[in-house]
């Protein structure tokens, strides 16, 4: 049992239901077993509630008045429903612009990701390609070794001179080597005959990719598109370090950091704060901004969930 390869261990079968339960059912159940079940169900339910409760509290409080947040200890449904916080957010140019920037970075970034990932994965999926092993090893090596934060920063900021442009957050993560390998493996699994019939009809490799392979790969592209998009929406580090001189291009996450984390009074680095944020914003506004930045993720979560259990571990290790 212990001599299993990493690939077997990582096999993606968790989405399959267990056919046989690990304990006796019904009349056979002993008292101990029943106690175990009750405790287990209660405990795991409690863990799940703990996971979700901060979101519920934040959503509830974002609709509450400042007075209620300050005086009532814990509540999920406000007594006086107020949409003032949202009114403020949607009238604040700064936050709206941040939202727009996040949308722009997410859509452009995802398009770039998919273009780079698909083209490279398709080329590498062809075993006939000369030098294929060399290119594959180049990719795999980069999954284990990296130059680190500073050399990467120097390339983007000093060598390519991308500071304060959107390119500084779009290009450095254009391909996830891991995702690319999974897409490559998927392409390899497409029946060769389909592609050959097209190339006999005079299609080039690019034509085959566009007309035959991509239409067959739409679910895969949707999955990786979603994962890339979530990554872009959630990213803040790149924008924070590369866009220090272009606040009008900041995505929502960087604004959130300034609005909530740095305005808390604990941060010493108040020098690059904007005048309109020096006064710590009201609690309800902070909560409403958190809600607004989380809603897009929640909208795609059902789709994500459909795919990730299958997608997360599908053997990128396979040649």
Partner 1 sequence: MSTAKSATYETPKKLHGTGKEYWRRLGNDLVRDRWLYLLLLPGLIYFIVFKYLPMFGIVIAFENYVPFSGVLGSEWVGLKWFQYFFRFPAWTRYLSNTLILSLMNIVFFFPAPIILALLLNEMRSLRYKKLLQTLLYVPHFISIVIVVSITFVMFGSSGIVYKLTQQLLGHTVNYMGSPDTFRWMIIGQTIWKETGWGTIIFLAALTNVDTQLYEAAMVDGAGRLRRLWHITLPAIRSTIVLMLILRMGSVLDTGYDHLILMANPLNRSASQTLDVFVYQQGIQSGQFSYASAIGLMKSVISVTLVVGSNKIAHLLGEQGLY
Tell me how far apart the alpha carbons of residues 157 and 164 are, in angstroms, rounded to a whole number: 9
Tell me how far apart the alpha carbons of residues 124 and 131 are, in angstroms, rounded to a whole number: 10
Of 21 and 91, the one with the shorter C-beta distance to partner 1 is: 21
The single-letter DSSP state of residue 248 is: G
CB of 274 to partner 1, least distance (A): 17
CB of 224 to partner 1, least distance (A): 14
Q: According to DSSP H, which parts of 145-264 are helical?
A: 149-154, 167-170, 177-188, 192-200, 205-208, 214-216, 218-234, 237-242, 252-256
CB of 279 to partner 1, least distance (A): 13
Of 83 and 194, the one with the shorter C-beta distance to partner 1 is: 194
Tell me how far apart the alpha carbons of residues 204 and 202 are, in angstroms, rounded to a whole number: 7
Per the CB < 8 A criterion, the answer to whether 236 and 253 are in contact is yes
CB of 155 to partner 1, least distance (A): 5
Please name the residue that has the structure tokens 């509540």: 75
What contacts 121, CB < 8 A, 6 or more positions away? 180, 181, 183, 184, 186, 187
Of 100 and 147, the one with the shorter C-beta distance to partner 1 is: 147
Of 2 and 279, the one with the shorter C-beta distance to partner 1 is: 2
CB of 23 to partner 1, least distance (A): 5
CB of 218 to partner 1, least distance (A): 19
Tell me how far apart the alpha carbons of residues 220 and 186 are, in angstroms, rounded to a whole number: 8
Tell me how far apart the alpha carbons of residues 192 and 72 are, in angstroms, rounded to a whole number: 66
Of 35 and 218, the one with the shorter C-beta distance to partner 1 is: 35
Of 4 and 211, the one with the shorter C-beta distance to partner 1 is: 4
CB of 43 to partner 1, least distance (A): 7
Tell me how far apart the alpha carbons of residues 15 and 276 are, in angstroms, rounded to a whole number: 49
Tell me how far apart the alpha carbons of residues 259 and 85 are, in angstroms, rounded to a whole number: 14
Of 219 and 319, the one with the shorter C-beta distance to partner 1 is: 319
Burial class of residue 66 in the structure, from the number of CB atoms within 10 Å of its CB (0-12 exposed, 13-18 middle, 19+ buried): middle
């Amino acid at each position: 049992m212990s001599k299993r390869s990493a690939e077997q261990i990582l096999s993606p079968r968790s989405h399959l239901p267990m056919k046989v339960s690990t304990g006796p059912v019904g009349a056979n159940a002993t008292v101990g077993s029943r106690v175990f079940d009750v405790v287990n169900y209660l405990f795991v339910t409690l863990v799940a509630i703990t996971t979700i409760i901060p979101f519920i509290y934040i959503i509830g409080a974002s609709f509450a008045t400042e007075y209620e947040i300050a005086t009532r200890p814990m509540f999920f449904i406000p007594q006086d429903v107020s949409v003032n916080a949202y009114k403020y957010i949607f009238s604040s140019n700064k936050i709206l612009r941040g939202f727009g920037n996040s949308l722009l970075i997410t859509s452009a970034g995802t398009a770039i990701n998919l273009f780079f990932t698909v083209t490279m994965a398709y080329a590498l999926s062809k075993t006939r390609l000369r030098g294929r092993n060399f290119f594959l090893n180049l990719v795999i090596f980069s999954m284990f070794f990296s130059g680190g934060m500073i050399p990467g920063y120097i390339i983007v900021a000093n060598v390519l001179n991308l500071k304060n442009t959107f390119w500084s957050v779009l290009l450095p993560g254009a391909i996830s080597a891991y995702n690319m390998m999974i897409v490559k493996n998927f392409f390899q699994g497409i029946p060769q005959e389909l592609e050959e019939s097209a190339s006999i009809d005079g299609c080039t490799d690019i034509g085959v990719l566009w007309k035959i392979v991509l239409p067959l790969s739409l679910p895969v592209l949707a999955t990786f598109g979603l994962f890339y998009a979530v990554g872009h929406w959630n990213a803040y580090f790149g924008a924070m370090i590369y866009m220090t001189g272009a606040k009008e291009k900041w995505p929502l996450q960087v604004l959130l950091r300034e609005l909530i984390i740095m305005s808390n009074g604990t941060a010493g680095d108040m020098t690059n704060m904007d005048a309109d944020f020096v006064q710590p914003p009201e609690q309800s506004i902070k909560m409403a901004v958190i809600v607004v930045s989380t809603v897009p993720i929640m909208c795609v979560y059902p789709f994500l969930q459909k795919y990730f259990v299958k997608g997360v571990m599908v053997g990128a290790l396979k040649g």
